[in-house]
């Protein structure tokens, strides 16, 4: 259990985030946003803005910064502003004002006059359902619609019709904003032909490549720096608008440029989690055995169709053993701000629908919801031959039920004075993946080591993981290991996303460490070295041979080498052809609904998780706890509201609700620890995102247990719980 190494810097304000960087002669940029949801910009009058105090430049589609949309294999194309006059959503970046100070830039931006030719806008998911389109293939390449049918079964409809008990319902989840504490921002500085961008991102090397491509510069001439990231959650996966604009303006003006979005701008000028509608049908035998699952999903999508929330693929396809399965994933193009990955994309909203439906089936069968889940536990994803590498979901439920006092639950809940009290549960799953990552390990002659990779620690604890796994792999104390992250000049670490970073970077460390130790031993026994010609070995940070031993620092010192470095890479490989990989969890929640005011209070929460080996118990608990709180937030607080004209009605942290301390009780987090060495040598599977999966359903299921009212959309509002 190790406190995170960057904790003291962060809580004392000494951690330097992107916008904390300042340079002599730095100018400030302010982004201008559209005020219609669909149409064309006919004209922009920038005369007054250009002559306002301190203004250096006003860029617009009529006088744009030269940018081209970069493409990455992982995230696809990233849109860049001002390259045409089209407006596809309210709050779209359409201009950029640069001035001597932030206030001057902001004031001048207010003087820009835009004339539009407005076109009809489609902004409501419900209105758009009729014009839904098939989604593109999921990230794993599978088509939007899939079905797996038992021999002799003609269709999913037949399978459902043949099921003695059927539950059918439609669920909806609201759009969400990542609401990271650090708004998207950038400082860009050109120096001797090299551009350095300081900007929070989930992957410094990816951001550097994006900026180089957008500016048509050589990759080597762009350097991206982000040692600290003030929250990301998927919202800093793609390079953000401020980064492109600051970089291009710094080049055009030959001055350092800083730009930061206001909180309100973050809601439209970055990207959100889309709203979804999901229809689920479950067919079961009377004993609870699932015979058929049908899950049809609709995801709001921006007009460029760049991101679909993969709810059907994420949940029904994997979670339960069933002979018959049919899923479909549709997208509904709307005039809404961009959408993107947000913590547990697919699984978070998908699990609300599926795990609510399973609870409804338990009610219909008069069966305990945990018993129903255990009867349908899958040994492998339906329709695939590959068994789970390691699955201890049953143990999660068993341990959780005992810890939570599940046996005291009654199907009708209970009352406590004026409070209606209910318990709910849900399954959590999130696929365990690895992305390619390279890590460099350096041994220094002062007996310290460095572990460096360009990836990011957006609050997940990766920095601390590097020192822990580095120390373990080098057989030295973690305090002797300096971890380095967030700089594109380090070995390419790729994306901190998809709950992959510990497994990806950790595996790469386990490749790099033996290499640097081999290099050390070769050096130690080379001609003229202290162990010349001896049989040498390495343990405990020391070279051993011929009855003598020296620390690695002493060896390096003796041979006159201040340091030696080796790199190691790791990517998901052959293991993916042998097993299916997922983390698992059981979520529990107790809610109290007030008899008269109908307010919902979460009074107890427990999550029990199977994520393989736990590297740092403290950080793991924090990750999961944060995710569970996200689940409560999705269930009871968060939801983007769009006005008919496409304006985001609650784009600020006063009206876009997230829970505060008073909304959250003690959170109990427990791990059943079974190292998964089939997944990687470290034995660790991801746990960044699974904490939020299932929790919203557990809350809704608890609300049903307390009140008898089934709410099939989130967030759940007081008006949803008015008695009949």
Active site residues per annotation: 689
Q: How far is the CB of 233 from ligand MOS (least distance, A)?
A: 6
Asked if residue 715 has a cis previous peptide bond (ω within 30° of 0), the answer is yes
Residue 338 in the binding site for ligand MOS (CB under 6 A): no
Which region, judged by CB under 6 A, interacts with ligand MOS, from 159-167, 169-177, 229-237, 693-701? Answer: 229-237
Q: Note whether 445 and 563 are within 8 A (CB).
A: yes
Residue 343 in the binding site for ligand MOS (CB under 6 A): yes
User: Exposed, middle or buried, 22 (CB in 10 Å: 0-12/13-18/19+)?
Assistant: exposed
Using CB under 6 A, which of 183, 237, 553, 646 touches ligand MOS? 237
Smallest distance, ligand MOS to C-beta of residue 34, A: 26
Can you tell me which residue has the tokens 């995710």?
A: 627
Strands 133-134 and 145-148: unpaired
If the CB atoms of residues 237 and 607 are measured against ligand MOS, the closer one turns out to be 237
Q: Which stretch binds ligand MOS (CB under 6 A): 155-163, 342-350, 446-454, 637-645?
A: 342-350
Is residue 234 a contact point for ligand MOS (CB under 6 A)?
Answer: yes
Q: What are residue 77's phi and psi, to 5 degrees?
A: -85, 145
Backbone dihedral angles phi then psi of residue 431, each to the nearest 5 degrees: -60, 145
Scanning 335-343, 403-411, 427-435, 472-480 for contacts with ligand MOS by CB under 6 A, the matching segment is 335-343
From residue 449 to residue 488, what is the string marking binding to ligand MOS with x (rule CB under 6 A)? ----------------------------------------
Other Cβ atoms closer than 10 A to 341 = 26
Contact with ligand MOS (CB under 6 A) among 72, 177, 202, 301 = 202
Q: In sequence order, what are the beta bridge partners of 628?
A: none
Applying CB under 6 A, the span of 336-344, 351-359, 438-446, 577-585 interacting with ligand MOS comes to 336-344
Gap between the Cα atoms of 185 and 720, Å rounded: 39
CA distance 260 to 439: 31
* Of 345, 493, 530, 631, the one binding ligand MOS by CB under 6 A: 345
Residue 458 CB, nearest distance to ligand MOS (Å)?
8
Asked whether 618 and 455 are in contact (CB, 8 A), the reply is: no
Q: State the nearest-atom distance from the C-beta of 550 to ligand MOS, in Å.
A: 44
- Selected range binding ligand MOS among 12-20, 80-88, 337-345, 401-409, rule: CB under 6 A: 337-345
* 349 contributes a contact to ligand MOS by CB under 6 A: no
Nearer to ligand MOS, 116 or 341 (CB): 341
341 vs 609 by CB, closer to ligand MOS: 341
Contact predicate 587/635, CB 8 Å: no
Q: Nearer to ligand MOS by C-beta: 227 or 498?
A: 498
The answer to whether the CB of 612 falls within 8 A of the CB of 679 is yes
Q: Please give the residues from 489 up to 518 whose contact with ligand MOS meets the rule CB under 6 A.
A: 497-498
Closest by Cα among 375, 379, 405 to 391: 379
Q: Which of 434, 315, 502 is nearest to 679 (CA)?
A: 434
Q: Which residue's CB is nearer to ligand MOS, number 234 or number 545? A: 234
Q: Closer to ligand MOS at the Cβ: 186 or 344?
A: 344
Q: How far is the CB of 342 from ligand MOS (least distance, A)?
A: 5
Residue among 498 and 646 whose Cβ is closer to ligand MOS:
498
Q: Does 683 bind ligand MOS (CB under 6 A)?
A: no
Q: x-or-dash pattern for ligand MOS, window 390-409, by CB under 6 A?
A: --------------------
* Cα 381 to Cα 385: distance, rounded to the nearest angstrom: 8
Taking CB positions, which residue lies at the least distance from ligand MOS? 234
Give dist(CA 697, CA 708) in Å, integer: 15
Binding mask 151-190 toward ligand MOS (x if CB under 6 A, else -) reads: ----------------------------------------
Which one of the spans 59-67, 233-241, 468-476, 620-628 is the region binding ligand MOS (CB under 6 A)? 233-241
Q: Is the Cβ of residue 380 or residue 658 nearer to ligand MOS in the bound state?
A: 658
Among 36, 342, 503, 624, binds ligand MOS (CB under 6 A): 342
- Residue 646 interacting with ligand MOS (CB under 6 A): no
Residue 305 · residue 338 · CB < 8 Å: no
Query: How many angstroms separate the CA atoms of 132 and 298, rounded?
Result: 7
**Residue among 237 and 338 whose Cβ is closer to ligand MOS:** 237
Cα 35 to Cα 85, 87, 118, 648, 692: the distances in Å are 13, 9, 10, 11, 34
Q: Which is nearer to ligand MOS, 302 or 497 (CB)?
A: 497
Binding segment for ligand MOS among 295-303, 338-346, 402-410, 704-712 (CB under 6 A)?
338-346
Closest contact distance (angstroms) between CB of 611 and ligand MOS is 15
Taking CB under 6 A as the binding criterion, the range among 42-50, 158-166, 340-348, 634-642 that sits at the site for ligand MOS is: 340-348
Give exposure, 455-487, as e/b (b: 16+ Cβ within 10 Å): bbbbbbbbbbbbbbbbbbbbebebebbbbbbbb
Distances (CA, A) of 327 to 111, 239, 278, 382: 50, 32, 10, 12
- Tell me the closest approach of the beta carbon of residue 232 to ligand MOS, in angstroms: 6
Query: Judged by CB under 6 A, how many residues of this single chain contact ligand MOS?
Result: 10
Contact 208, 70 (CB under 8 A): no
How long, in residues, is the chain? 724
Q: Dihedrals φ, ψ of 452, to 5°?
A: -130, 135
Q: Give the CA diameter of the chain.
A: 89
Q: Does 341 sit near ligand MOS (CB under 6 A)?
A: yes
DSSP letter (8 states) at residue 141: S
Q: Give the count of beta carbons closer than 10 Å to the beta carbon of residue 670.
A: 17
Contact (CB, 8 A) for 441 and 516: yes
User: Strand 419-431 relative to strand 185-191: parallel, antiparallel, unpaired?
Assistant: unpaired
Tokens standing for residue 438: 């390279």
Binding site for ligand MOS (CB under 6 A): 202, 233-234, 237, 341-343, 345, 497-498
């Amino acid at each position: 259990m190790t406190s995170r190494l960057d904790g003291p810097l962060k809580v004392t304000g000494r951690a330097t985030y992107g916008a904390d960087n300042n340079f002599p002669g730095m100018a400030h940029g302010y982004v201008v946003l559209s005020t219609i949801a669909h149409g064309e910009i006919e004209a922009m009058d920038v005369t007054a803005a250009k002559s306002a105090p301190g203004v250096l430049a006003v860029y617009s589609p009529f006088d744009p910064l030269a940018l081209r949309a970069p493409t990455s294999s992982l995230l696809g194309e990233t849109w860049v502003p001002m390259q045409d006059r089209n407006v596809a959503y309210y709050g779209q970046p359409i201009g950029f004002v640069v001035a001597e100070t932030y206030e001057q830039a902001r004031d001048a931006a207010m003087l820009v006059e835009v004339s539009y030719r407005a076109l009809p806008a489609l902004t409501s998911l419900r209105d758009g359902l009729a014009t839904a389109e098939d989604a593109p293939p999921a990230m794993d390449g599978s088509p939007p619609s899939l079905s797996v049918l038992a021999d002799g079964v003609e269709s999913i409809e037949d399978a459902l019709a043949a099921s003695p008990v059927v539950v059918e319902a439609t669920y909806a989840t609201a759009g969400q904003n990542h609401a990271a504490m650090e708004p998207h921002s950038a400082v860009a500085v050109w120096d001797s032909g090299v551009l350095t961008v300081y900007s929070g991102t989930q992957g410094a090397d990816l951001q550097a490549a994006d900026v180089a491509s957008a500016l048509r510069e050589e990759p080597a001439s762009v350097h991206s720096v982000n040692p600290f990231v003030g929250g990301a959650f998927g919202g800093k996966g793609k390079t953000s608008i401020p980064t492109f604009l600051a970089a291009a303006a710094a080049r055009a003006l030959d001055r350092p440029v800083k730009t930061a979005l206001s909180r309100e701008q973050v809601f439209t000028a970055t990207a959100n989690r889309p709203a979804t509608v999901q229809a689920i049908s479950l067919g079961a035998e009377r004993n609870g055995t699932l015979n058929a699952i049908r899950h049809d999903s609709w995801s709001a999508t921006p007009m460029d169709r760049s991101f679909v929330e993969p709810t059907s693929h994420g949940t029904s396809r994997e979670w339960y053993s069933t002979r018959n399965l049919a899923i479909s994933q549709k997208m509904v193009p709307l005039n809404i701000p961009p959408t993107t990955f947000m913590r547990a994309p697919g699984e978070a909203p998908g699990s609300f629908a599926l795990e609510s439906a399973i609870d409804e089936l338990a009610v219909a069968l008069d069966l305990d919801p945990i018993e129903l889940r255990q009867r349908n536990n899958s040994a492998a994803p339906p329709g695939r031959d590959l068994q789970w590498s390691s699955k201890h979901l049953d143990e999660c439920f068993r341990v959780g039920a005992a810890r939570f006092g599940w046996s005291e639950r009654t199907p009708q809940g209970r009352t406590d004075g004026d409070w209606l009290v209910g318990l709910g549960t849900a399954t959590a799953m999130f696929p365990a993946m690895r992305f390619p990552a390279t890590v460099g390990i350096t041994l220094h002659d002062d007996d310290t080591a460095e572990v460096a990779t360009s990836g990011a620690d957006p609050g997940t604890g990766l920095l601390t993981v590097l020192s822990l796994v580095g120390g373990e792999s080098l057989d030295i104390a973690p305090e002797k290991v300096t971890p380095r992250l967030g700089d594109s000049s380090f070995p390419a670490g790729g994306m901190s996303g998809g709950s992959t970073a510990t497994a990806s970077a950790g595996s790469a460390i386990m490749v790099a460490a033996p290499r640097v130790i081999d290099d050390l031993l070769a050096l130690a026994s080379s001609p003229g070295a202290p162990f010349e010609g001896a049989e040498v070995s390495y343990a405990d940070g020391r070279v051993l041979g011929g009855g003598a031993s020296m620390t690695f620092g002493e060896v390096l010192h003796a041979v006159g080498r201040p340091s030696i470095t080796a790199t190691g890479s790791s990517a998901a490989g052959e293991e993916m052809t042998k097993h299916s990989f997922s983390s698992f969890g059981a979520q529990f929640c107790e809610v109290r609904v007030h008899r008269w005011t109908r307010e919902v209070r979460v009074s107890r929460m427990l999550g029990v998780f199977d994520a393989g080996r736990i590297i740092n118990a403290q950080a793991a608990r924090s990750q999961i706890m944060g995710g569970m709180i996200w689940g409560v937030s999705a269930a009871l607080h968060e939801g983007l509201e769009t006005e008919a004209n496409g304006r985001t009605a609650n784009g600020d942290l006063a009206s876009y609700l997230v829970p505060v301390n008073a909304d959250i009780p003690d959170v109990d987090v427990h791990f059943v620890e079974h190292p998964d060495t089939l997944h990687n040598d470290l034995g660790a599977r991801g746990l960044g995102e699974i904490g939020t999966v299932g929790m919203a359903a557990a809350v809704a299921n608890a609300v049903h247990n307390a009140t008898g009212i089934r709410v099939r959309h989130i967030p759940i509002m007081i008006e949803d719980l008015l008695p009949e």
